[in-house]
Amino acid sequence: MLRVDQVSAGYSGSRAVPRVVEEVTLRVDAGEIVGLVGESGCGKTTLARVITGLHRPHTGVVRFGGVDVHGLRGRELRAHRRQIQMVFQDPYLTLSPRQTARQAVAEPLHIHRIGDARSRAARVAELLDLVGLDPPAADRRPRDLSGGQRQRVAIARALALGPRLLVCDEPVTALDVSVQAKVLNLICDLRDHLGLACLFISHDLAVVRQLADRIAVMHQGRIVEQGATAQVTTAPRHPYTRTLLAAAPRM
**88 inside domain:** no
The runs of H, that is alpha helices, within the chain are 44-51, 74-80, 91-94, 101-111, 117-130, 147-159, 177-194, 205-211, 229-234, 239-247
Residues 146 and 219 in one domain: no
CATH number at residue 177: 3.40.50.300
Residues 170 and 72 in one domain: yes
pLDDT tens per residue across span 198-234:
999 998 888 888 889 999 999 999 999 999 999 999 9
Residues 111 and 235 in one domain: no
Q: How confident is the model at residue 101 (pLDDT cuts 50, 70, 90)?
A: very high
Tell me the residue type at 111. I
Residues 18 and 141 in one domain: no
**114 inside domain:** yes
Number of domains in the chain: 2
**CA 212, CA 189: separation in Å to the nearest integer?**
13
Residues 77 and 173 in one domain: yes
Give phi and psi for 233, each to the nearest 5.
Answer: -90, -15
**139 inside domain:** yes
Domain of residue 152 covers 101-160
Residues 78 and 186 in one domain: yes
**149 inside domain:** yes
**94 inside domain:** no
Domain boundary residue, one of 111, 140, 160: 160
Residues 191, 197, 201: CA angle, nearest 5 degrees: 100
pLDDT tens per residue across span 169-205:
988 876 777 778 888 888 888 888 888 899 999 988 8
Nearest by Cα to 207 from 226, 181, 182: 181
Residues 66 and 176 in one domain: yes
Q: What pLDDT is recorded for position 119?
A: 94
β-bridge mates for residue 28, sequence order:
2
**34 inside domain:** yes
pLDDT tens per residue across span 148-158:
899 889 999 99
Residues 20 and 42 in one domain: yes
**CA 153, CA 100: separation in Å to the nearest integer?**
10
Q: Against a cut of 0.85, is the pTM above it?
A: yes
Q: What is the mean pLDDT of the chain?
A: 89
Residues 156 and 168 in one domain: no
Residues 77 and 178 in one domain: yes
**95 inside domain:** no
Domain boundary residue, one of 110, 144, 160: 160
Residues 75 and 8 in one domain: yes
Instruction: Concatenate the DSSP letters of all residues of 123-170 into one string.
Output: HHHHHHHHTT--GGGGG--GGGS-HHHHHHHHHHHHHTT--SEEEEES
